Each structure stands twice: as C-alpha cells, then as structure tokens.
Structure 1
Amino acid sequence: MSIPTTHPFAFDPTYGMKLDELLAIEPPDEPDGFDDFWEARYLEALTVDPKPVLSHSRITHPDWHVLDLVYISTGEFRIGGWLLLPREGQVRRGLVVGHGYGGRDRPEFDLPVKETAVLFPCCRGLSLSARPPISQNPSWHVLHDIDKPKSYIIGGCVEDLWLAVSTLAVLYPWLSGHIGYSGISFGGGVGAMAIAYDERIDRGHLALPSFGDQPLRLTLPTVGSAQSVQEYHKKHADVLETLRLYDAATAASRIKVPMLVAVALFDPSVAPPCQFAVANALPKFNEIFILDAGHFDYPGSAEQEAVLRDKIGQFFRVP
C-alpha cells in the first residue's frame, strides 16, 4: 500500500480511519418515503420518449465509430453526449458511462469492452448539456434547487441516466437485459441512485462514489462540491431533509444486480467513509476494490488502475 503521507490539505484525507474501520461503516438511517420518492420518478421517466438524434462526430478513432448524440430527458431537457460503436464485431451489450463533476469534453476510448455500444451522456447543466441559469461550476451546480426536494438537480441527473438507458433500448432493442452502467465520483453517486430503481440495468461499476451517507458527508472536511454543500448547510440546516432523499448509500442498499465498486483509503474530494458507506450497503456477493487514494496522484496508481481496468473488462464482458 502507498497511501499518500504528504499533501497540501489542511485536514487528513484518511480521516484517521484504517481499512477495517472503513469496512465496518453502515449506511445511514433512511428517511420515510425513500422508495416511494424514487419509484414514482422512475415510472415517470419511463414515459418519456428520448427521441435520440445521431450525427457523425468530428472526433475519430481507429477502433470506434464516434457519433454525436442528443436525446430528450425529463422536463424536456436536451441532453448531449456521444455514442461509440465498435468497428469490429456486433453490438451485443450496452453501457452507459457517467462522468465526474468536471463534466466531459469527449468520450473515453480506453474502456476495456468489446462488441458494446457505449453511451456517454453529459448530465443536465454540465458540458454538452449546459443550460442557463444552471452553473457548470460543481460548487454551484450541486446547490441548484437544493431547497426544493422534488426539483433538486441531482434527481434530474439521475433521470438523465435512466433516459440514457431508454435511448440505448430505442436504438438497439435487442440489448434489453444487457445494459450496464459505469460511473466515477459524481457519476458513481448518481449511478447508485439510478441502478437501484432501474431494472433494465443488469450490472454496475462505481468508482469513488459521491453522495454517500449525507449526514456524515456534512461533517467531514473536504474540498469540492461537498464543501459547498457544507457551507450551505450552516445557514440552512433543514437542507439535510432534502439530502437524505439523495443518499447514494441508502440507494445502494436496494441494488440487487452484480456490482464492482472501487473505493479509496485517502480522498480529499469524496471522503472515504462516505465512499465505503455506499460500497458496504451493497449485498455481500459484490466486489469492493480498494485503491490507495482517489482524486489525488500517488505512487503505484498506474499499477492499481491497470488491475482495476482488467477487472472492469471481465465484469462487462459480452454475455
């Protein structure tokens, strides 16, 4: 293990916790009506016709056909992204890939998957799905409509992922039952909420998932979007009631499909105790992959990422 010992932060990004302590973390108490809240949203999202429009992209790659993609999400929100189709083989699996809170300016080409249609959506308000007055700055985006439990933007971002699945199902009906999800950080947190209620997703990979154990998340010093929420909470204590409805750990306890979750022992942006709250909430047959650090460069990171990449390739192999 090579957990960083020197860093520029005014707090300890391990929070003084060892692996055995992190693995003992349990999900938070859940609010009343959690399932009703999400099930109703999912059923409504299923009624939306995504009306996908594809066009040739200026981006090219020797292994993939690259298509620019636009589809319609809930609230008639226009979502932009990309679709990759393999140049060799058939399309036998679908994969939706979420992004971190930095958004996304192009698709990833190094995913270890074959014969897979890979959809890279940009969640509402970010990158290709930018729309005023929503800020693209994570510290402000994460606060958008946070005072309105049913309208909080994180819920809309979850719905954008459900409509990404709907888009794959419209374009490739034979992929039903063979659509996966992969997301990191922000994409890991909203991914947990999406997978929990979407029976069309057959497996998921989450890395450094955010939004886990919201009550705890408000108490741990951090940088990034969580810090912004903490500052808001100091003046608006009742926001916790909204946040508890958007808890990735509570959602993870509902997930019944195979999962591969990568969590870090050191992370200044997504506190490890909150990451492990998500991973530990999953049924025990799932795999938890331990990284020495997240959102931070460290010795040995390339080797650990290579091992994880191999696992992801096996996890999403064509059925």
Structure 2
Amino acid sequence: MSIPKRHPYDFDPTYGLGLKELRAIRPPPEVEGFDAFWQARYRKALARDPSPSLTRSATRHPRWTIHDLSYTSTDGFRIGGWLLVPQHGNVRRGLVVGHGYGGRDQPDLDLPVEDTAILFPCFRGLSRSSRAPISPDPAWHVLHDIDKPDRYIIGGCVEDVWVAVTVLNTLFPGTKGRVGYSGISLGGGIGALAIPHDDRIDRGHLVVPTFGNRPLWLTLPTIGSARAVQAYGRTHPEVQQTLRLFDAASAATRITVPLLCAVARFDPAVAPPCQFSVANALPIKDCNEIFILDAGHFDYPGQAAQSSALMAKVGNLFGTP
C-alpha cells in the first residue's frame, strides 16, 4: 500500500489513524425511532407508481442497448437517468447504480456483469434530475430542507433508489428479489441507508461511503459536503439530532445481505474514520468483504491496479445468481 504523502490540504486526510485504529472504529449510538422513520418512508416509496418512460439513446454500444429513462419518485419528483439492457442473453438480474456528488453525465458502460439490466438514476436535484429551487452545488444540495427531517433531500434520494428498484421489477419481472445496488461517495452513503430497509435488494457494493458516524462527520476537517453542514451546524446545533436519523453507519448495522465495501485510508472529501464506521458496522462478517483503498477522492500511484482488483470483485458479486 502507498498512502499519498504529498497533498495540497491544510489538514491530514488520514486524520492520524492507521489501519488498526480505523478497523477499531464502531458506529455511534443510534437515535430512537430510527427504524420507524425509515420504514414509513419505504412504505411511501413502495406505494409510488413510477410510470417509467424510455427513449432509445443515440449512443450505440456492442454490449448494451442504451435508453434515456425517467420515472416518478416520491413527492411526484421526476427522476432522469439511463437504462442499459444487454444486447445478448436474458435479463436475469437488475442493478441500480448511484453516483457521487459530482453527478453523472453518462452511464458506465464497462461494468463486468452479464444478463443484467442496469439503471443509473440521477438523484433528485442533480444532473438529469436537476430542478429549481434545489441547487446542484453539493454545498447547497446537502443542506436542502435539512431543518425538516421528513423533507430533507437525503431522505428523498434514498427513496429515489427504492423507486428505481420498483422500475426494474416492473420492466423486468424476472429481477424480483434479484436486484443489487452499487454506489460511490454520496451514492455509497445513500446505498447504506437504502439497502437494509428494502428486502428486494439482495446484495450491495459501497465505495468510500459518506454519512457514516455523523458525530465524527460533523467534526473532522474536509473538502466534502460535510464542510457545508459543519458550517451550518455552528449556528444550528439542532442539526446534530436530525442527522442521527441519516447515519449510514447506524443503517449498516441492519444490512443482512452480501456487501462489498471499499474504504480508503486517505480521503480529503469523506473522512476515512466515517467510511470505516460504515464498513465496521456490517453485522454478518462471513458474507461481507471490506476492500482497502490507499486513497479516495485523490489520484495516487497504484490506483489503476487497485481499481482493477476491485472491479473484478464487483463482477464476482453481481455476476452470481
């Protein structure tokens, strides 16, 4: 392993912690009513008729038929994205892929899966799902309705994932009970919150997930979305209680399906202690795997080799029946 030694930040993106210390971090105490809060939201998402709309994309690919897609999520929010359908073989599985706070301008065409329909939703307010008055700037998006737990946009993004599963099950009935989720950074945190409450999702892959261990998340220096919430919290201390309902580490303690979690030892945008809080919270060790990256949100020597090794594991996870 080769953790970056040089960087432009005025803080240490390892936070002075070695691998042993990172692996010892545990999730914070959970807030009362956590399960009831998310179960109510899940019931609302299940009741939504997504009314998906598909248009053949102008982009051509030898493996995939690519569709521009939109569907209606909770609160009547129209979500835009893409759907990949394999050109050869039958659709036996589904996969929902979440993105980071940089948004998404195209689908990933190199995922190592077969016989799988892949849905790439853009979370509400971002990229193809942008809509006023929600700002696409991460520093403002992460604050949208943060003072209203039932309306906070992060909860809406989780619901967007659940409704995406409904879309796959509707378009491809053979995917019922056979849908995976993969997400990075923002999408990793959203996935940790979504997976345990939806028994239609049978496996997951989270990369450098955010929103883990909110008490720590609110205190550690960062260039990521936490920085905006930290600034907000200095004048609105009540946000600490709200965010406990949106703690990805608390949610991860409830994940009972196979999960591959890639976490970084150095990361200026998502503090490694918060990432490891999510990974370490996974309760069933024999069906989960923690993959250690040298760094996240930062280029480093050996990155291509680690990404290739991780992608091989992704293919094994989502390529099995």
Q: Normalising to structure 2: TM-score of the pair? A: 0.99
Give the aligned partner of residue 317 of structure 2.
Answer: 315
Instruction: Write out aligned runs for 1:1-319 (5 A).
Output: 1-283=1-283, 284-285=285-286, 286-319=288-321
* Cα contact 1:112–1:313 (8 A) shared by 2: yes
1:318 positional shift? 4.0
Matched letter for residue 183 of structure 1: G
1:59 positional shift? 2.0
CA distance in 2, matches of 1:59, 1:268: 35
Deviation digits for residues 126-159 of structure 1 (CA, Å, limit 9, x no counterpart): 0000000000000100000001111000000000
CA distance in 2, matches of 1:173, 1:91: 9
* Cα contact 2:182–2:204 (8 A) shared by 1: yes
CA distance in 2, matches of 1:116, 1:25: 36
* Cα contact 1:93–1:318 (8 A) shared by 2: no
Query: Any stretches of 5+ residues in structure 2 without a counterpart?
Result: none
CA distance in 1, matches of 2:13, 2:224: 13
Matched letter for residue 309 of structure 2: V
* Cα contact 2:91–2:174 (8 A) shared by 1: no
Which portions of structure 1, spanning 4 or more consecutive aligned residues, are displaced by more than 2 angstroms?
none
1:89 positional shift? 1.0
1:236 positional shift? 0.5
CA distance in 2, matches of 1:43, 1:224: 31
1:224 positional shift? 2.1
SS at match of 2:26: coil
SS at match of 2:96: strand
Percentage of pairs with the same residue? 66
* Cα contact 1:71–1:79 (8 A) shared by 2: yes
Matched letter for residue 148 of structure 1: K
CA distance in 1, matches of 2:203, 2:90: 20
Matched letter for residue 37 of structure 1: F
SS at match of 1:316: helix
CA distance in 2, matches of 1:314, 1:165: 21
1:44 positional shift? 1.3
Quote the RMSD (CA, aligned, Å): 0.6
CA distance in 2, matches of 1:60, 1:318: 27
CA distance in 1, matches of 2:40, 2:52: 24
Count of aligned positions: 319
* Cα contact 1:92–1:318 (8 A) shared by 2: no
